[in-house]
Structure 1
């Protein structure tokens, strides 16, 4: 399919996409989410909820532009749900399409009416315990990939998009260029399935169309309203709404002995499909839609900002207004066009881990005992064992367990803080002690319960801490002495602005200070000894001056240099 995926983004371990995916078709590798085509049912909701807006959707706008420039007859099949997406009068949307270069604009509802009649015919001619509508491609993919047992219950009829495409090709010729425009991402892969039949030549979402209108500089609110090239009121206009298919099937369905069940949303579809699989449902017609609220609740519609009920009201009002047309045309099913289709099993081949392999993976996730299995679902999987199976299949990573990673990080940081020789003190904005590591508590000879939450000024002067917080300028490498504790610190104090906290790392250099004093004593004693040697040598030199002569001066110079060397002075 390859029509949609996540773009490269900084995944922040939220796993919202995976939690939203009912079939867990999202793979994580190096903390980057990607969609696994083989498992995906193309509902598209994972892309719409990504907080990074990291989505790549294959666009056919360029293909349509090329077709327009080539002089082909460009025909739009516009899904009725457009009335809920665009915040303008419906005639202005038609006008915008014509301004972009479309020759003919019809509603996909024409195809939907054909499909409704074909559903009725199929039910009359074929005895089944269960019938499942097939207008929703994502619901069809769900059955083909995950519920192979109920494939025979899928009504083998094309969707309204394909049905309308076949009608348009018959009407305007094989050379016409048919573009479906709607709210569904899965339609992009559905049209590719029928590509060899030359039924639909391109698919655009409402988002793509809206962006194209803006890019072309068309001010849609200022356009004169125009009518569809064919303006029938069609019972197929209700297809985008929950229960709309059943309503479109009309009296013929009502006269049958079938019960009807409308389900929208992938979780509801899975539940009812499981019931069918288990044999719990008999003599029913299932209207199945992958999106909550049917097509009006689809991913493209949701991203438009308005809530579902606002869009539903707009579509209902639009359909109601269409009833006022004076030239309603009821479309009959053409006998020279084949509207049948086949559904085939596309089950996922999965490698199942052994119990030993699951246990080994669980241990890598920090799950050693049953109590460690929180089954919280934060990672996107319903249980820790399910997540371990996903790791085995290469769909997930062990570090996707946030509780484990948090425990691991806290444990590591605690080990570092608890065992560091530096004296660490964390203060809040009021200069009260929030944390103090063991080294600091040992220096100040105090227990946590006696200082946590109390002012640091009870222990030491807080002037430096206050200055850092108020000025925002950190103190690095300042030497301070606290004789009452017998320590000399090199203090580093930083202000954590986001947390409004002050962190101090204070290194005790008392030992080094003592060593420095001892060294100074050694130097002083050496200097005194050198001075005595010089004085004694001078006395001897004076006594034997006549014998040594100028040698005495040289000796003085040498001894003076020795003195400077001991004192640590430069010797020229």
Structure 2
């Protein structure tokens, strides 16, 4: 099931998504970005970075609406970072809002966090670990399973607060209960579909999706009353979304004396820590890993128009320490017959390795012949040219993604067209000074480019028409212009290059063509005159023949009449 990807045709080849992707799980083919699921850790950083907002995240909203329509028992578990993700009024009334939308019960995921904290403490009492890695962040878990699978032995084999709370909800409200998780994390959508616990969470909704649903429903939040959560949470559980909140929930002085405790946030920092844990001599580390900087308060599912992350952090801190009827100091009872265990497995994938000969061949194909040609500019999204070449070999990248190569290629093509064109081509800047001048221009205007470069075009041509284009911003296309001083007729195109406020002028010599046309016109005129003369002569001959025929006929008529009279006089004929 495809949960996360990019919309097709939205990609503008900026490679920003690839630059922020810590594991390079984004593939480019035919200039379209797509997420490779087996490589992805679902951190969502690429979606935040994409300037085209091309993200395509599977929404469970239709499933939720269908459950409401079917009148199923629906329970929402809300991540405690909600207080910093919405306006104060919205956050204070979130329980009321959700119930107005059709949800029957609303609890905080902090309940599940409290269960996890207790299980962590219990595990540490049962067994000594060389190193410890907490497992509340799904993206950090995916990172280890896919890219550092040998470190799964250090991962606490406990489910996340979302899964723990979901299991408890199913027990309390019934196994047929429809459970919705609402939080700031996109990776929860992937975690909820994992085979080990795919029957616990029925739908996942980000805070951003919830906000859109509320606005779509046109709820009058201003006139709503405050409603408490249906189950009280603890200070310890509410602290989970903050950096270090997981470790702070279960570590005591005894444990701290045995381990170096470290709170790591941000994928790059997590990778650095995991590389440290890969060393055989590393021991005594207790590490909390968070994919997002400052923890879950800064997840990719936070609404775009929410407060800054540090302001959100302050609000969540205040909420953690705020005591009211919705807060309890009692520990959550953990049903012993519910399995809160989690097995972390090797999810690594095969990556073909290019040999040196192949690397050199690909490098040469993008004009990188020496080490000096390998600029390692990072514009393509990869740190080095060789890393990009390896991606090309794996089918994850395209050669055309190299910006210096494509720029050089475009310049070569442009120069070839400019120099080999049979047309006169030149470019003038906004002051009508020549900045480009090809060889055809040199021949036509009898001046070397070095002599005209940087000088006004008026040195060789009347600049009135060029000045007009600059002023009106209107291009001139296929205009016939006769330059008397050169005795030549041109088909002239003057094109405004807006960004540079310069003019590209392309002039096609049509002098000979026009002469040929004039000669053809003369030939046609002569032919018409000759034809007219022939017609007139024929008419005269016809008239003369007609006249002669008329005279002969008259004479014949006279002779025949006389002959008739003679015959009648003889009396032989009656």
TM-score with structure 1 length normalisation? 0.88
Contact 1:425 1:436 in 2 (8 A): yes
User: CA–CA distance in 1 between the matches of 2:417 and 2:276?
Assistant: 55
**Does residue 1:87 correspond to 2:87, yes or no?**
yes
Spell out, residue by residue over 1:152-185, the C-alpha distance to the aligned partner (whole angstroms, 9 max, x if none): 0001011111111122222222222221111111
| 1:166/1:199 contact within 8 Å kept | yes
TM-superposition CA deviations, 1:179-221 (whole Å, max 9, x none): 1111111111211125756322221111121111112221223
> 2:193 and 2:312 mapped to 1: Cα distance?
29
What is the aligned partner in structure 1 of residue 20 from structure 2?
20
Distance 1:234 1:333, change over 3 A: farther
Q: Partners in 2 of 1:529 and 1:188 — Cα distance?
A: 90
2:507 is aligned with 1:506? yes
Aligned twin of 2:39: 39
* 1:69 and 2:80 are equivalent in the alignment: no
| Separation in structure 2 between the aligned mates of residue 477 and residue 103 of structure 1, nearest angstrom | 72
Q: Secondary structure at the match of 1:293?
A: coil
Matches of 1:356 and 1:59, distance apart in 2: 46
Tell whether 2:152 aligns with 1:154.
no
Greater shift, 186-195 or 267-276, is seen at 186-195
Q: State yes or no: 1:249 paired with 2:237.
A: no
Q: Pick closer, same or farther for the CA change 1:138–1:325 going to 2, 3 Å.
A: closer
Against the structure 1 CA distance between its residues 513 and 192, is the aligned structure 2 distance closer, same or farther, given a 3 Å change threshold?
Answer: closer
TM-aligned CA distance change 1:27 to 1:477, over 3 Å:
closer
8 Å contact 1:48–1:303 — kept in the other structure? Answer: no
* 1:2 Cα deviation after fit: 1.9
CA 1:505/1:273 → structure 2, altered by over 3 Å: closer, same or farther?
same
Q: Are the equivalent residues in 1 in contact too, given 2:85–2:306 (CA < 8 A)? A: no
Q: 1:4 to 1:255 in 2, by over 3 A?
A: closer
Change (3 A) 1:221 1:312: farther
Partner of 1:55: 55
Contact 1:60/1:202 (8 A) holds in 2: yes
Q: CA deviation at 1:88?
A: 2.5
Whether 1:216 aligns to 2:254 is: no
Q: Give the structure 1 partner of residue 283 of structure 2.
A: 282
Contact 1:174 1:198 in 2 (8 A): no
Equivalent residues of 1:80, 1:107 under 8 A apart: yes
CA gap of 1:87–1:532, structure 2 versus 1, over 3 A, is closer
Distance change in 2, residues 1:195/1:93 (3 Å): farther
Whether 1:268 and 2:269 are equivalent positions in the alignment is: yes
SS of equivalent residue, structure 1 residue 301? coil
Contact between 1:110 and 1:234, CA under 8 Å: does it hold in 2? Answer: no
After superposition, the Cα gap between the structure-2 partners of 1:253 and 1:417, relative to the gap in structure 1 and judged at 3 Å, is farther
Aligned to 1:561: none
Q: Which whole-Å deviations, capped at 9, do the CAs of 1:255-310 have from their partners, x for residues lacking one?
A: 54111011011101100000000235310100001112211121112734432112
Q: Distance in 2 between matches of 1:20 and 1:281?
A: 29
Instruction: String of CA shifts for 1:383-421, please: whole Å, max 9, x gaps.
Output: 112111111111111111121111111100110111112
Question: 2:17, 2:47 within 8 Å by CA — same for their partners in 1?
Answer: yes
SS in 2 for 1:321: coil
Equivalence for 1:313 = 314
Instruction: Between 469-478 and 49-58, report the one with greater CA deviation.
Output: 469-478
Is the CA contact 2:108–2:233 (under 8 Å) kept in the aligned structure 1? no
Structure 2 distance, partners of 1:44, 1:506, is 53
Structure 1 residues 459, 219: CA separation in 2 closer, same or farther (over 3 Å shift)? same
Deviation, structure 1 residue 70: 2.1
Q: 1:473 to 1:161 in 2, by over 3 A?
A: closer
Gaps of 5+ in 2: 549-574
Q: Deviations over 1:108-136 (max 9, x none)?
A: 11111111121122222222211000000
Assess if the C-alpha contact under 8 Å between 1:441 and 1:448 holds in 2: yes
User: C-alpha deviations, 1:309-358, integer Å up to 9, x for none?
Assistant: 12111211221224786753322433232211111101111112222222
Change beyond 3 A, Cα 1:199–1:483: closer
In structure 1, the partner of 2:377 is 376
Max Rg structure: 2
Contact 1:233 1:323 in 2 (8 A): no
Shift of 1:246: 1.5
Write the mapping of 1:229-244 to structure 2, written as runs, cut at 5 A.
229-244=230-245
Q: Distance in 2 between matches of 1:304 and 1:492?
A: 48
How many residue pairs are counted as aligned between the two chains?
545
Per the normalisation by structure 2, the TM-score is 0.87
C-alpha distance 513-95 of structure 1, shift in aligned 2 (>3 A): closer
Matched-pair contact (CA < 8 Å) for 2:112–2:164: yes
Aligned to 1:471: 472
- Aligned 8 A contact 1:241 1:293 in 2: yes
Q: Which residue of 2 aligns with 1:346?
A: 347
SS state at 2:145 partner: helix
Kindly state the Cα deviation for residue 359 of structure 1 after the two structures are TM-superposed: 2.1
Identify if the C-alpha distance between structure 1 residues 510 and 160 changes in structure 2 by more than 3 Å, giving closer, same or farther.
Answer: same
TM-superposed CA distance for 1:424, in Å, is 1.1
Change (3 A) 1:521 1:31: closer
CA-CA distance at 1:549 after TM superposition: 6.0
SS of residue paired to 1:490: strand
Give the distance between the partners of 2:31 and 2:414, measured in 1 at CA: 22
Superposed displacement of residue 550, structure 1: 4.8
Give distance in 1, aligned partners of 2:323 and 2:84.
15
Q: Which residue of 1 aligns with 2:129?
A: 128
CA RMSD of aligned residues (A): 3.1
Question: What is the distance in 1 between the residues matched to 2:297 and 2:496?
Answer: 51
- State how far apart, in whole Å, the 2-side matches of 1:467 and 1:289 are: 61
Once residues 463 and 172 of structure 2 are traced to their aligned partners in structure 1, the CA distance between those partners, rounded to angstroms, is: 87
Separation (CA, whole Å) in 1 of partners of 2:327 and 2:162:
26
Whole-angstrom CA distance in 1 between matches of 2:523 and 2:372: 64
- Report the alpha carbon displacement of residue 19 of structure 1 after superposing the two structures with TM: 0.9
| Shift, 1:524, TM fit | 11
